[in-house]
Amino acid sequence: MGEVSAIEWTDATFNPWWGCTKVSPACRNCYAETWAKRTGFSVWGDRAERRTFSPSHWAEPVRWNAKAEREGRRMRVFCASMADVFEDAPGLDEQRAKLWPLIEATTSLDWLLLTKRPENIRRMVPWGLRPPMNVWLGTTVENQEYADERVPHLVDAPANVRFLSCEPLLGLVTLRQWAIDLDWVIVGGETGAGARPMDPAWARSLRDQCQEIGLWFHFKQWGDHDETGARVGKKAAGRVLDGRTWDEIARQYP
pLDDT averaged over 10-residue windows placed end to end, the chain, 254 residues:
79 97 97 95 95 97 98 96 95 96 98 98 95 97 98 96 98 97 98 95 98 97 97 97 96 60
Cβ–Cβ under 8 Å, residues 7 and 76: no
pLDDT of residue 183: 97
pLDDT of residue 253: 54
CA dist list (Å): 143 to 4, 27, 164, 172:
30, 13, 12, 6
pLDDT of residue 210: 98
What lies within 8 Å, CB to CB, of 51 at 6+ separation is 17, 18, 19, 36, 41, 43
pLDDT of residue 157: 97
CA dist list (Å): 171 to 45, 146, 230:
26, 10, 18
pLDDT of residue 90: 85
pLDDT of residue 188: 98
pLDDT of residue 5: 78
Domain map of the chain by residue range? Answer: 12-245
pLDDT of residue 254: 46
pLDDT of residue 153: 98
Q: Which residues does residue 138 pair with via DSSP β-bridges, in sequence order?
A: 114, 163
Q: Helices 60-71 and 92-105 meet at what angle, rounded to 10?
A: 20
pLDDT of residue 252: 62
Give the residue among 85, 84, 64 at the shortest CA–CA distance from 73.
Answer: 64
- Rg, C-alpha atoms of the chain: 18
